[in-house]
C-alpha cells in the first residue's frame, strides 16, 4: 500500500478562494504576461488584468491574453519590434505617468518577465520621479517557458550546472561580453533577440573554445500554438536562425540534446488554423 510507505501530508484546511490583491486608482502594476500561452499567466497577473482600467501592452502580448482584460479596459499598444519603434520609449513613459496622474488603474503589460530584457526598471524610475506608486508582478520569462515547452531543461545534474541569459542585441564594435565565460562547457547559454546576430554569436563562441558540435535549438514563438523548434549544432546556428521567425530564443548547450527525447508539446493544429484566420 502506497500510504504505508509515503507519509502523506494531511490536506490543509483551506479557504478555496483564490488569492486576490488590488490595483489602486492612480497606481501602476508592471505585469509580466509570460511567453505566450495564456495559462502561463500568474494568478496575480490575471487579477491585475481584470481590474485594470488602462493597459499599455507590448507587441509580444498575445490577443488571447488581452482578451482576459475587463471589457471596459482601454488597451493601448506601445509595442516595439527590433528596428522599428512604433512608440518611442519616452512617449510610453509619458503615457504611464499621465494615465496614473488622471487616477486610472494602470497595467503596464510586458511579454515574459518585465525585468528580463524588458526595460521594466527604466519605466519604474520614471514613476518614482513622478511620485506614482507601483507594484511589480513577475512573469515566466521566455528562457523558462519556451525551453520547458521544447522539452529542454535549463540545468541538469549531468549536463549543465549553470545557465546564462544574454541579449543578442549587441553591436560588434561595442561588444563587452566575456566570450570565454559564455563559451564554457557544461553550461546553457540562452540568447534573447539572437536571430539577427546569430552568425556573429556562432563564430565568437567557436573562436572562444565552445565545441562546434554542441547541440543548439532555436525555439520560435515558444509556448504558443505556432511554436516551432529547430534543432542542430553550434556550427549550424546561423543557418537555423535564418529559418526562424521572431520572437525566437536561441539555446546552446549540452542540455539541448534532451529536447528530442523529452518533446511533449504538440501545438494544436486546429487552434493554429483559427489563429491564422484571426491574423
Nearer to ligand SAH by Cβ, of 210 and 221: the residue is: 221
CA nearest 109: which of 155, 60, 166? Answer: 60
Under the binding rule (CB under 6 A), the answer on residue 248 touching ligand SAH is yes
Nearer to ligand SAH by Cβ, of 31 and 248: the residue is: 248
Per-residue x/- marks for ligand SAH, 102-141, CB under 6 A? Answer: --------xxxx--xxx----------------------x
Site for ligand SAH in 43-102 (CB under 6 A): 60
Nearer to ligand SAH by Cβ, of 104 and 154: the residue is: 154
Sign of CA dihedral 199, 201, 204, 205: negative
Other C-beta atoms closer than 10 Å to the C-beta of 12 total 5
To ligand SAH, the closest distance from the beta carbon of 190 in angstroms equals 9
How far, in Å, are 13, 95, 201, 245 from residue 276 at the CA level? 46, 31, 32, 15
58 is catalytic: yes
- Compute φ and ψ for 112, nearest 5 degrees: 65, -130
**Cell numbers given for 55:** 493597459
Kindly compute the dihedral angle of the four CA atoms of residues 43, 69, 225, 118, in this order, to the nearest 10 degrees: -70
Q: Which of 246, 258, 262, 275 binds ligand SAH (CB under 6 A)?
A: 246
To ligand SAH, the closest distance from the beta carbon of 146 in angstroms equals 4
Report helix, strand or coil for 145. helix
Active-site entry in 37, 44, 58, 221: 58
To ligand SAH, the closest distance from the beta carbon of 103 in angstroms equals 28
Site for ligand SAH in 188-227 (CB under 6 A): 192-193, 219, 221-223
Q: Tell me the C-alpha distance between 217 and 194, whole Å.
A: 12
Q: Report CA Rg, the chain.
A: 21
91 is catalytic: no
Give me the residues that bind ligand SAH (CB under 6 A), please.
35-36, 60, 110-113, 116-118, 141-142, 146, 192-193, 219, 221-223, 246-249
Catalytic machinery residues: 58, 80
Amino acid at each position: 500500500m502506497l500510504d504505508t510507505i509515503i507519509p502523506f501530508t494531511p490536506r490543509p484546511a483551506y479557504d478555496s478562494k483564490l488569492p486576490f490583491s488590488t490595483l489602486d486608482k492612480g497606481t501602476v502594476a508592471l505585469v509580466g504576461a509570460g511567453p505566450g500561452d495564456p495559462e502561463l499567466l500568474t494568478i496575480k497577473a490575471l487579477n491585475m488584468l481584470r481590474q485594470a482600467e488602462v493597459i499599455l501592452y507590448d507587441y509580444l502580448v498575445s490577443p488571447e491574453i488581452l482578451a482576459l482584460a475587463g471589457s471596459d479596459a482601454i488597451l493601448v499598444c506601445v509595442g516595439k519590434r527590433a528596428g522599428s519603434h512604433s512608440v518611442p520609449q519616452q512617449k510610453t513613459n509619458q503615457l504611464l505617468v499621465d494615465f496614473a496622474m488622471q487616477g486610472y488603474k494602470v497595467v503596464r503589460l510586458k511579454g515574459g518577465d518585465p525585468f528580463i530584457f524588458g526595460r521594466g526598471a527604466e519605466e519604474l524610475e520614471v514613476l518614482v520621479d513622478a511620485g506614482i506608486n507601483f507594484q511589480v508582478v513577475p512573469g515566466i520569462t521566455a528562457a523558462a517557458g519556451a525551453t520547458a515547452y521544447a522539452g529542454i531543461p535549463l540545468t541538469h545534474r549531468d549536463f549543465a550546472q549553470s545557465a546564462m541569459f544574454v541579449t543578442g542585441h549587441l553591436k560588434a564594435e561595442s561588444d563587452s561580453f566575456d566570450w570565454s565565460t559564455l563559451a564554457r562547457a557544461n553550461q546553457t547559454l540562452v540568447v534573447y533577440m539572437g536571430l539577427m546576430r546569430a552568425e556573429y554569436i556562432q563564430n565568437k563562441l567557436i573562436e572562444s573554445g565552445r565545441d562546434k558540435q554542441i547541440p543548439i535549438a532555436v525555439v520560435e514563438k515558444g509556448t504558443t500554438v505556432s511554436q516551432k523548434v529547430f534543432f542542430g549544432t553550434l556550427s549550424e546556428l546561423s543557418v537555423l536562425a535564418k529559418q526562424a521567425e521572431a520572437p525566437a530564443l536561441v539555446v546552446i548547450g549540452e542540455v539541448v540534446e534532451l529536447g528530442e527525447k523529452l518533446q511533449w508539446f504538440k501545438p494544436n493544429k486546429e487552434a493554429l488554423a483559427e489563429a491564422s484566420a484571426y491574423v
